[in-house]
Amino acid sequence: MKFRELSIEGVFEITPQQHGDPRGMFMEWYRFDHLAEVVGHPLNLAQANLSVSQRGVVRGIHFADVPRGQAKYVTCVRGAVLDIIVDIRVGSPTFGRWEGVRLDDVDRRAVYLPEGMGHGFCALTDDATLSYLCSETYNPTGEHSVHPLDPDLGIDWPADVPLLSARDDAAPSLADAAASGLLPDYAACMEFTESLRVK
């Protein structure tokens, strides 16, 4: 299992080692001890989600209030998606930057994003199936969105006409979300992450 930190602090791409023979394939797609060693603390597993999307569907950009936020460990078990992580932490040196990682059922990569990040994806195939582990359960009063097609973000979505939910289509721009005080604070996110470290 190889970890590669992306250009946004605390965000990692994980490439598993696949073991195959004529019978099929086996791999470890998540190891709590390896992840904890890399990020500096264990991932509290509180909820596991599965989503199935048709080609061209865009979901996100979603985020949760910090504290407690919601860290995620995401992989694609069928088909392919372009997974997008956006730094929406006000005060972060990489505020507004996004990273895209192809997740598919060939390389079987995963991504880890800590609390305070925005997350979304675009389905590249029909029936693209995403599985993600979350550090907190869903909190409807603490969950928010930023519009995925916000031109200030400039995300290069690989869909001619992205299919959005009504919620995502009505989401504010990054600037409007920041102006309204909706976005997580970088210092608060770092303080919360530090509180997770084993003393």
pLDDT value at 128 more than 80:
yes
Model pLDDT, residue 93: 97
Q: What are the pLDDT digits (tens) for 27-84?
A: 999 999 999 999 999 999 999 999 999 999 999 999 999 988 999 999 999 999 999 9
Q: What are the pLDDT digits (tens) for 156-190?
A: 999 999 999 999 999 999 999 999 999 999 999 99
Mean pLDDT of 122-138: 97
Model pLDDT, residue 197: 85
Model pLDDT, residue 199: 54
Mean pLDDT of 90-111: 97
Percent of the chain with pLDDT strictly greater than 90: 95
Q: Residue 172: how many CB atoms within 10 A of its CB?
A: 17
Model pLDDT, residue 106: 97
Model pLDDT, residue 165: 97
CA pair distance 131, 29, nearest whole angstrom: 11
Torsion-angle region of residue 51: left (phi > 0), alpha (psi -120 to 50) or beta?
beta
Mean pLDDT of 118-135: 97
Model pLDDT, residue 172: 98
Write out the catalytic residue numbers: 62, 132
Question: What's this model's pTM, rounded to 2 decimal places?
Answer: 0.95
The set of residues, in sequence order, having a beta carbon less than 8 Å from that of 3 and lying 6+ positions away, is: 12, 13, 14, 34, 35, 38
DSSP secondary structure of 153-167: T----S-SS-B--HH
